[in-house]
Chain A
Amino acid sequence: MAEIFVLAEHRQGRIRDITFEMLTKGKKLTEQINADLTVVLLGKEAKEHARTLSEYAKKVLLIEDTKLENFNSEAYQRVLSNLINEHKPLLLMIGHTSFGVDLAPSLAASLKLPLATDCIDLEFDDETFLVTRQMYGGKVNVRARVRKAESYVVTIRQAAFEAQKPAMNGEIIEKPSSLAEEITKKRFIGYVLPPPGGVDITAADMLIGIGRGIKDENNIPTVEELAKSLGGVLACSRPIVDKGWLPSDRQVGSSGKTVKPKLYIAFGISGAFQHVLGMKNSDLIIAINKDPNAPIFSFSDYGVVEDMFKILSPLQSKICELKGQKT
């Protein structure tokens, strides 16, 4: 029977969410095309993870090796190449994460297997295999056909599928590591923690997020003032941190903080998926953007299509008015 492989992603003792999200889609696909679902788990002393994952798939292929303790694309690529050559799975699913993007492209190229990255949906048809992915910062979707092959490799966008618990009772199969020689070209040294920040945006009830629409560093104090009058905290999208306009502890998104305030107001933020990942679960989202087609509007409760600079000052005075009345 055809087999679908899901590569488990884990870090610092925890299985990462993307693994369970991929297993949701993997399970669905195996039901549609009548295939088996297998989790591939590489690590050092990973039996506990294997037990957890056995509830999500028919099989868990576990390979333990001290060289697999931390993620290293060179080591992973070697072990996975051997596994794929042996099992010839129809599909290998890898997370479109920092881990996955370091591994999947070179793995696919070395095995001469086609790869589609950052997929948000997958589908087999009579001919081959189709993926859905986004382009232009999420402004359009494309459906793309993958070149016919014995096996396909995909990377899956985070949060594209919802993790579910199917309560299966998979078999754990331990396999010997095929890593004989040392890994020489690439060496993991250690994790580097972000510098301790002064502000904890995850603790705030109200966040005012600014994006590239702010245009100039000198425009930031006006928004900060607004945040202050509201009793909220200033947050931002990545480009604002990249430019050095705000420290990284203010960044919302996949490479920043995940926040869930009672109110998130987005000023001049387009709503790229990596940003949305960090704020979409806020209780109330209001977005101000001059582009009516900005993706942020599909994640917001309320939207304003307007130049943010026209809204800031009336908003500031309305808030002050109200607060003034109260005291």
Chain B
Amino acid sequence: MAERGLNIIVCVKHVPETAEAEIKIDSTGKAIEKAGLVFDINECDDYALEEAVRVKEKFGGSVIAVTVGPEDADSTLRKCLARGADKAIRLTDATFGGSDGYAIAKILHNAIKGLPFDLVLTGALAGDDGCTMVGPILAELLRIPHATMVKKIELGEGVAKVNRELEGGLEEAVEVELPAVLTVQTGINEPRYVSILGIRKAMKKEIKVLGLADIGLSENDVGEAGSWIKIESMFVPPVEKQAEFIKGTPEEIAAKIVEIIKSRGLI
């Protein structure tokens, strides 16, 4: 392994940042309005990409970043290239819209099955749909083992020893045979900042674009037709308990907070 290095494929998603943004449901009633939202690499995918680059730096080899998404997703791929990915592939087709995690996994599977790889890394889940399924389905389609929610990776001869995150701070150590798909959880490493030079270099690297026909799938395999679930309606979550809002100047707000705390006998 040390001599020939490791070939790693990292699957990433270009997602809108929604934690701080105002979300509006669009006129179809089935999706949010995307205009005005800032898109970036999905949080756990960022950690997955960093982990791949670290493995490459240690053992040699190559990193290919792959995404299913529109042309805009190039900015996420450029980021991966700047961080140390060697190649990037974007899978784009009008028929891909409405794909759920299953359809996405099929698209990724067909795109990468012919490539040489020892390891496929991806984020544990996507921050937009939260499906938490693409990695392990991809593994099943590739007929290789997987481990999800990985917080530590140690590579040995033909195996990966990984720590999986369980609940409440507990982890479990498991060993999986390579090649394998590992889905990475946040906090596994500290993603590096991209240097200006890195970004400039990345602009010169080619992003390969493939569509439905190129990867040998048919329309029935992708989009809503090829998905397990189809969104019928989207709505604002019903509120079980609504906070009482404290208003006023910062001083008034602070005074009110202190009053509430005091009334509970906590000060």
Contact = CB atoms under 8 A, between A and B. Distances in A.
Interface string A200-216: 00000110000010000
Contact of A184 (B16, B25, B177): B177
A186 B22 contact: no
Contacts of A194: 169-171
B266 interface: yes
B237 A138 contact: yes
Nearest to B233: A143
B131 A140 contact: no
Given A142-B233, A255-B167, A284 B264 contact: yes
B239 A193 contact: no
B140 A110 contact: yes
B258 A322 contact: yes
A87 interface: no
A314 B251 CA distance: 6
B90 interface: no
Nearest to A157: B130
Interface residues of A, number: 102
Interface string B208-249: 000000000000000000011111111111111111111000
A139 B18 contact: yes
B262 interface: yes
Interface in B247-262: 250-251, 253-255, 257-258, 260-262
B136 A105 contact: yes
Contacts of B97: none
Nearest to A232: B266
Q: Which of B147, B228, B257 has the most CB of A within 10 A?
A: B228
A105 B266 contact: no
B243 A144 contact: no
B243 A303 contact: yes
Given A137-B127, A142-B234, A192 B229 contact: no
Contacts of B136: 73, 101-102, 105-106, 109
B57 interface: no
Given A140-B25, A242-B187, A256-B168, A109 B102 contact: yes
Contacts of A241: 187
Interface string A35-49: 000000000000000
A42 B16 CA distance: 40
B165 A98 contact: yes
Contact of B168 (A212, A255, A304, A318): A255
B207 interface: no
Interface stretch (A26-34, A60-68, A170-178, A291-299): A291-299
B42 interface: no
B260 to A, nearest CB: 6
A interface secondary structure, majority = mixed
Contacts of B139: 106
Interface stretch (A51-59, A113-121, A217-225): A113-121
A116 to B, nearest CB: 5
B49 to A, nearest CB: 15
A134 interface: yes
B128 interface: yes
B234 A141 contact: yes
Contacts of B230: 144-145, 147
Contacts of A115: 102, 133, 228
Interface string B11-27: 00000101110110100
B85 interface: no
Contacts of A293: 22-23
B109 to A, nearest CB: 10
Given A141-B237, A298-B243, A212 B164 contact: no
A235 B245 CA distance: 23
B92 interface: no
A105 B133 contact: yes
Contacts of A96: 132
B187 A134 contact: no
Contact of B149 (A98, A138, A322): A98
Given A106-B136, A186-B145, A298 B232 contact: no
Contacts of A255: 165, 167-169
Interface in B172-216: 172-177, 186-187, 190
Contacts of A147: 227-230
B101 interface: yes
9 contacts: A98-B149, A106-B137, A110-B140, A135-B32, A142-B30, A239-B186, A242-B186, A257-B169, A302-B246
Pairs of residues from A and B, 3 with the lowest C-beta to C-beta distance, nearest first: A303-B243, A242-B187, A314-B254
Given A118-B132, A139-B18, 8 more contacts: A109-B140, A255-B165, A262-B264, A283-B264, A285-B243, A286-B257, A303-B244, A311-B250
